[in-house]
Amino acid sequence: MATTPPVVKAHKREEFGKGAARRLRRDGRIPGVLYESGIENVHFSVDRIEMTALVRNDGTNAILRLDVDGKELLCMVKHVDQNVLTLEIDHIDLLGVKRGEKVTVEVPVVTEGEAVDDAVVLQETDVLEIEVDALNIPDEIVVNIEGKEIGEQIVASEVVLPAGAELTSDPDALVVNVTYFQEDEELEEAAAEAEAGGAEAGADADQAEGTVEIADGGEGDEGASE
């Protein structure tokens, strides 16, 4: 993550409520609130396209300098409300931070490398919570699985974190489990029974159809004799 946060221009909000929020969204702006210990909450609005691009590029832990009518406030994205239909941002919460201050954030976990042949790698944890300098929040935490053998596991305490970061997640939390492909016998049996049942139903249907054809044929003969 960049150590020089981008500047996002904002306007202070004087109107509140659902009606005011709808008008802002109609005008292409997102309502938001900045929270910071020791100061009054700042209600603002920002350009939807600009803020959406920032969140998409830097993630939900994005650091920015919010320019509220000429006053810059260093902050990070804390929570985003998205429209369930359009997935557009409807509202955003920011948390005020100070340079050199550490924050507790959740960071996505990704794996790199290849385990041994025939191994199945199960990623059991999607995010890890860490405490880190606000201006050095990593975009992701990489877990190396190169050459891992079947039966090996990686727990949170074994993950290599970025310099200066401290783990706040459960150190015993299972992050990666290297195992082997296992067939679920119950599922296989159920699938076989379902397939057999489908075949029997098809045979019964064919037999019933043949019976109808014979009956129809008999009625036709009677009609011809008349």
Residue 144 is encoded by which pair of tokens?
Answer: 């190396």
CATH of the domain at 113: 2.170.120.20
* pLDDT tens, position by position, 144-197: 999 999 999 999 999 999 889 999 999 999 999 999 876 655 656 766 777 776
* pLDDT tens, position by position, 25-75: 889 999 999 998 777 889 999 999 999 999 888 877 889 999 998 888 899
Domain count, the chain: 2
Out of 34, 69, 97, pick the residue that ends a domain.
97
Question: What's the pTM?
Answer: 0.66
114 plus 89 within the same structural domain: no
Burial (CB < 10 A; 0-12, 13-18, 19+), residue 29, is buried
37 plus 66 within the same structural domain: yes
Residues 79, 43: Cα–Cα separation, whole Å: 15
User: What is the phi/psi pair of residue 78, to 5°?
Assistant: -105, -35
- Look at residue 59 and tell me if it is in a domain: yes
63 plus 108 within the same structural domain: no
Which one is predicted more confidently, 203 or 97?
97
